[in-house]
Amino acid sequence: MNIKPLEDRVLIQRVESDERTDSGIYIPESAKEKPQEGIVRAVGPGKVNDAGERIDMTVSEGDKVMFGKYSGSEITLNGEEHLILRESELLAILDD
């Protein structure tokens, strides 16, 4: 199924967190927090301002981004969990 977010919304696929810490300690599933980083999979066309002009999106497909812990709405697409949120809820674009 294809999905196209509306307005200034962004579809994000979470990046899985490491299963162990830097010091080598394994983290059980029950103790893991949901990652706050993800890959942008789809973006909307942008928000329309009061003058009727469309504001371009800052992020694009493939960008790695950081978002707040409780941001957006979780959805399931093709058996995989994704997050859909507004561009203003994104905290940063990450460079590798």
Per-residue model confidence (pLDDT) at position 32: 59
Q: What is the predicted pLDDT for the residue at 15?
A: 84
Distances (CA, A) of 65 to 17, 41, 49, 81, 85: 14, 11, 24, 16, 12
The class that CATH gives domain 9-15+27-94 is: mainly beta
Where do the structural domains in the chain lie, given as residue ranges?
9-15+27-94
**What is the side-by-side order of every strand in the sheet holding 80-86?**
73-77, 80-86, 9-14, 37-43, 64-67, 90-94
Please tell me the predicted confidence (pLDDT) of residue 84: 95
Predicted pLDDT at 30 = 65
Positions in the chain short of pLDDT 50: none
